Amino acid sequence: MSGLTARRFVSPLASLVYWTVPALLSLWLFHRGLWCWFQQDDFSLLLLVQLPDREFWPQLQLPRAQGTFRPLSERLFFYYFHRWFGFDAFPFRLLVFATLVINLWLLAALTRRLTGRRWAGFVAACLWGLHASLSISMVWSSAYNQVLCSFFVLISFLLFLLFVSSGNWLYYAAQWVTFLLGFGALETMVVYPGLLLAYVMLHERRHWLAVAPMLLASGGLAWFQLQAAPLPKEGVYRASYGFELIEGLSTFTRWALAADAASWVAMVLAVPLLGFACYRALHKDYRGLFFLVWFVAALAPYLPLANHRFSYYLVIPALGLAMLGGWALLEAWQAGWRYRPLIAVSLLLYLPPNITLARAEVNFNHDRSNAAKQLLSEVSRARAEHPNKTILLTKLPGPLFSLAVYHEAFRAISVFDVYLTPDPANIEATAGAERIERFFLPRDQTRRLLGLNRTVVYDAAAPELREITREYAASAPSDLVP
C-alpha cells in the first residue's frame, strides 16, 4: 500500500475515532441513565406543565424556587416533551444524552482551537465525558440545565473565537444570541463574559471592547434576578463569604480531580497540572492559566453556598480542567518516553474514582427512579380498582416519600385523594422539607372513613401494593378504630 493510500485510509479512520470514541465512552458509563424515570423536581415540573395554557405561559416570566429562571432547560423542555411523549421518560433522557454528545464535539473543537493540538481536544473530551459530575444530569431530567448551559457556553466561546480569527461580525452577533439563550438554561451563564475577559486579557487584548457590553448585560441580568428573588438569609441556600469560600474551593477541587477518592489523590493530580500551567506561563504562554481561571470562575457562583455543595455544580467548571488535562497529557506524550509513565499514573488516579462514583450514582438513581415509577403504577391500579375511595398507604419507605410523594407525584399523574396513614413514624421529615403533614390523612378523618367503608389501605413496603384494609383496621392504634 502506497503512503498516499495509507494516509487516505488512516485519515477517515482517525476522524471516526476522534468524533465517536468520547461519545461511546460516555454512553458506556452513563447508558443506564437512558432508562431512568422521573424523580423529585421532575414531578413538580410535570405538574406545572399540565396547567391550562392561559395559566402556564405566564409562569415563564416568574422565577421558581430560589429565584431560578430556566425556561429552556426546565419549563419549555418539560412542556413540549410531556405534550409529545406523556410520561415516557426515555425521550427526555435521549435529549440529554444527545446534548452531551454535541458538547463533547464542541469541547474537542474548542480545545483544538485554544491549544493548536487536535488530539488534545480528543483527550479533553474523553476526560470530561467520563467525569463523575455528569452523573446527576445523566439520570435526572431536572438537572438538564447543567448540560444545556454547557452547550451554550461552549458554542458561544467557539463563535467568539471565530469572530476573533475572521473579523466577521456575524459570528459576534450569533455569539450574543447563544449567550442570551444560555440564561434560559442556567444562571451560571452569568460567568461567561468573565471567561471571555480573561481570555482576551491574556491573549487578544485588542478585542476587550467587544467583551465590555457582555459584561454589562451579564451584570444587568444578575441584578434583575436578585431583585426578583433576593438571596435567602437562612436555610441551605444562605450565602457565606468568609472562610467557607476557601473551604468550598478546596472541596470542589478535590471532587473535580479525584471524585470521592482521598485528598492525596487530588493533590498528586493537581501538582503536575499546576506545574505545567506555570511552566507555560513562565514562557509567555498563558493558556494553562486561562484554563485554571475557567475552572475557578465557573465555580464562583456556587462557592458561597456552604450548606449546598453538590458534585453536579462541577459540570461547567470541569470543562476548564479537561482542556488543561487534555493539553498537558498530549504534550507529555509528545515529549517522549520519560514522561509517559506520568501519563499512566495520572490516568490511573483520575479514571477509576470517577468511573466508580459515576457508575454507583447512575445505578442508584436508575433503581430508585424506577421504584417511583412502580409506586405510581401501583397507585394508579389501586385508583382504577377503587375509584370512589380514599387510598391510604402504610409502611411507605422514606426514600420513596422524599423521591416522589413529597414532590406531588400523585397529583402529577392525576391520581387524587391518596394519603399516608397517620400512625406514627414510618416517614421522617426530609432535610429542608416543609409541611409534610399535608401528606397524612388526619386521625379523625381516618377513623371516620374506616367506619364508613370509604377508604382502602395498602401496605407499601414492597414494590407491589398489598390491600390490607381489614388487617389495618384490626391492628391500628385504638384512637383510629371506629
pLDDT tens digits for range 28-50: 999 999 999 999 999 999 999 99
Give residue 223's pLDDT.
Answer: 76
What is the rounded CA–CA span in Å between residue 457 and residue 13?
62
Give residue 133's pLDDT.
Answer: 96
**Which residues in the chain land under pLDDT 50?**
1-6, 9, 431-432
Give residue 429's pLDDT.
Answer: 53
Q: 458 forms bridges with which residues in the sheet?
A: 393, 467
Q: Which helix (H) or strand (E) holds 458?
A: strand 455-459
pTM of the prediction?
0.92
Backbone angles phi, psi at 337, to 5 degrees: -65, -25
Give residue 270's pLDDT.
Answer: 94
What cell does 444 get?
Answer: 379523625
CB 245 within 8 A of CB 303: yes
Q: Helices (H) and strands (E) in the chain — how many of each?
A: 19, 4
What is the rounded CA–CA span in Å between residue 38 and residue 58?
25
What is the rounded CA–CA span in Å between residue 30 and residue 26?
6
Backbone angles phi, psi at 130, to 5 degrees: -110, 15
| Strands 418-420 and 455-459, bridge-based pairing | unpaired
Backbone angles phi, psi at 22, to 5 degrees: -60, -40
- Tell me the H-state helices in 116-191: 118-129, 144-166, 169-182
What cell does 124 get?
Answer: 479533553
Q: In 3D, which of 257, 254, 41 has the Cα closest to residue 142? A: 41
Residue 337: which residues within 8 A CB-CB, separation 6 or more?
Answer: none
Q: What is the pLDDT of residues 78-108, one digit of tens each?
A: 999 999 999 999 999 999 999 999 999 999 9
Give residue 478's pLDDT.
Answer: 59
Q: What is the pLDDT of residues 193-231, one digit of tens each?
A: 999 999 999 988 888 888 999 999 888 877 777 666 666
Give residue 9's pLDDT.
Answer: 47
Helix (H, G, I), strand (E, B) or coil at 318: helix
Residue 477: which residues within 8 A CB-CB, separation 6 or more?
Answer: 423
What is the rounded CA–CA span in Å between residue 448 and residue 158?
66
Q: In 3D, which of 96, 61, 70, 60 has the Cα closest to residue 81? A: 96
